[in-house]
Structure 1
């Protein structure tokens, strides 16, 4: 028996059209009709059925009978993929993409734990795109954006040493989280140390905290006795001014400079001296008095001589 080859040429609403004619999966397989209806066939599903040829349809010239099994698959149009991405706030990929394929009209849900991932060291910040929807003829993307968790950084340690590497002040520490900025160039860290002057700085006074410890060393030179005296007796109007210098017997009577204002202190002897005339001034006054006395005496002598002549 020869069975003709049937070629599927179209599927529309579960009605299968074959090249040359159509068949129907009714309860009466002896009849061949214009449409073959496959009930409840979903996209991607396969359904088998058996039918028997009737000679009046296949071959009008002769009679034959037989059965054949045909497998029909609903071949709906495939949708473009939906891609699920995982990025940090800077757009860097932090996990492998996941892809969902299917047919146009299929629903999808990427809000489940399979797609909404928990990533070590990160916290979910936002979702871009629709985590629920329908697959379509155009590509779609859902992006999970994560923020990196704050990580405690190692401290920046600030040392204070003399030229020989000896410690001259207590260390200070700058703390924070990884990638946070630091600045140890301020007065809080760049100290003025009595008897020393800053010579150089070793290390970066500004930067970013990291998982590795960083150090900054302020190196000072010790002042000589002459330099100390010059520093202690700063003159009014100059920029170099010692800070927090109190009046002591050593500097009593000297000019004391502070950063914002000038204070002048004098002892009692200097105040008394201001009230008395200087030596040169005394001599000048004496000559004036003597001159006046000479004039007065000369006047009286002249008067007496004049009276005697009379």
Structure 2
């Protein structure tokens, strides 16, 4: 520790407080000391520090969507950089969720806090975690509406009016009202639900092809679904974006690789930001920084509709 203190130009006590996440150190100093320690391959003896201060130096990370890899990677990287182990729990379905909360009580003896990523907890579930006296920080999908507004504005600007909306399975249909409010035409059969998979996106197109005509644009709730829509339309001989434009409400690497327009949310930075909030809470401090906002990245999957051009007919 003294070597790290000399290299960073601070006292050994400051190094100790910074690496243990204790109060009394500015965030800038904490980051600097952590980086110096990382370069010098120094790690605190967490077993000893746990005995001294009651810390476990572990955080439970809950997620329902491991497909949002940047969010998870950002959180995991920030936790490990701060010296915390990660206990990952994937609450993919109702059974996994029920099992986790049935076995919840021992968690309080294993972790210092809980991070919920892309999983919406019920009030009862939040209370259950709170009963263990564990701090909880959640990165919710509340920005789905903002992402949808950006997507709607983009397709409107390109002249689209007939738009299909593909929602995640656990999202209610009220989101199609947002598109209607923006001036888009959403037929009932064009509001669809899908698993967040490529296969789900392909099945969406099968449903659309059963109709009398195709929408001129499809807005997809996830990048995997958007990729499935793209591949299935191409397999049917449809031109993207000539016949149908595609917009994704998130932007994983595969989406950018094939050129799909996407609303991107700086998810890695959001994961890091959530960890900053959690660790600040453990230190008895407040992290007042605002999370990164979503933004639209326009790629080759969207194009302007010629005025008066009808939707592509089926057949």
TM tier, smaller: under 0.3
Tell me the TM-score normalized by structure 1: 0.21
Larger strand proportion, structure 1 or 2? 1
Tell me: higher relative CO, structure 1 or 2? Use CA pairs within 8 A at least 6 residues apart: 2
Larger helix proportion, structure 1 or 2? 2
